[in-house]
Amino acid sequence: MFKFNFNKTDENEEKQEEIKEPDPPITLKESKCIEVSSNQYEEIAESLPEKSLQMFSSNDLEIGFVDNININEMNDTDLISGVYEGGYKIWECTQDLVDYFTEDPERIDFAGKVVCDLGCSAGIAGLLALIKNAKAVHFQDYNEEVLDSFTIPNVILYCEENEKSENFSRCSFFSGDWDSFSELTTNDEKYDIILTSETIYNPSYYKKLLNFFKNRLKDDGQVFVAAKSHYFGVGGNVLDFCKLLKEDGTFQSEVVWKSSIGLQREILLLKRR
């Protein structure tokens, strides 16, 4: 029996993030696939009733997730480039992205699709794809510990809550840098849909993201990028990212959603030209 706390995502209020540059500079983490054996699955499933759980709500969708507050001290730490990239919380634009899909089911069809939740943290966007019958979902986060203690338990929580443990076999988990993730999965089937939220905060990541989309998206695939229009203090912004897309010429981009209140946020849809 699982007990959830509802509507607590507001507590993840954005403070102004600061990216710290590690000193000395570090080597980026290599990507690897995190395998979850059936014993590990069972162990995690058995531990869930003891955990404090929260509920992510979007229109008529509810997705449970484990309370990450006490998981790791990194939870409240600023982003440290190449060390910790913010995966221990659910960022505001994940709510925008999921709301965008749940408001109007015509906006996307996940059924039978191969989907990547790129920079997944809790894995909420990927879980939406799984719930909507995606054929396969790849959950990627830079930090292996985020996948181990946050993403994977959340996916198992969904499977257990809904008595759909067989759905877990449709999920794969990858840690490490986007460049290396792209290489690691180069022989895998390409993605029909890439979902990515709050990943353009650092301008030095634009090219990595663009290369990932170029290498890993099917010819008729779609990329949804949910982001704040400006990441004050850290430099990332939608306009500059779109400028790079335009210069590169591989993708056409369209703003499919914009916030009307609060901090300006957007959702971009990218398709190959």
Among 178, 206, 231, 251, binds ligand SAM (CB under 6 A): 178
Task: Give the tokens for residue 151.
Answer: 């993403």
Which residue's CB is nearer to ligand SAM, number 141 or number 160?
141
Pattern 193-232, ligand SAM, x by CB under 6 A: ----xxx-----x--x------------------------
Q: Are 167 and 82 in contact (CB under 8 A)?
A: no
Which residue's CB is nearer to ligand SAM, number 167 or number 175?
175
What are the residue ranges of helices labelled H in the chain? Answer: 38-47, 92-103, 124-131, 144-146, 152-161, 178-184, 206-216, 238-248
Which span (37-45, 126-134, 137-145, 217-225) binds ligand SAM, by CB under 6 A?
A: 137-145
Which residue's CB is nearer to ligand SAM, number 26 or number 252?
26
Pattern 143-162, ligand SAM, x by CB under 6 A: x-------------------
Distance between alpha carbon 68 and the CA centroid of its chain, in Å?
A: 16
Taking CB under 6 A as the rule, does residue 58 contact ligand SAM?
no
> What are the distances in angstroms from CA 11 to CA 6, 54, 133, 145?
11, 11, 30, 22
Cα 14 to Cα 151: distance, rounded to the nearest angstrom: 20
Cβ-closest position to ligand SAM: 119
Q: Which residues pair with 136 in a beta bridge?
A: 114
Which span (59-67, 135-143, 182-190, 250-258) binds ligand SAM, by CB under 6 A?
A: 135-143
Q: Are 190 and 217 in contact (CB under 8 A)?
A: yes
**Chain residues that interact with ligand SAM, rule: CB under 6 A:** 85-87, 90-91, 93-94, 119-121, 141-143, 177-178, 197-199, 205, 208
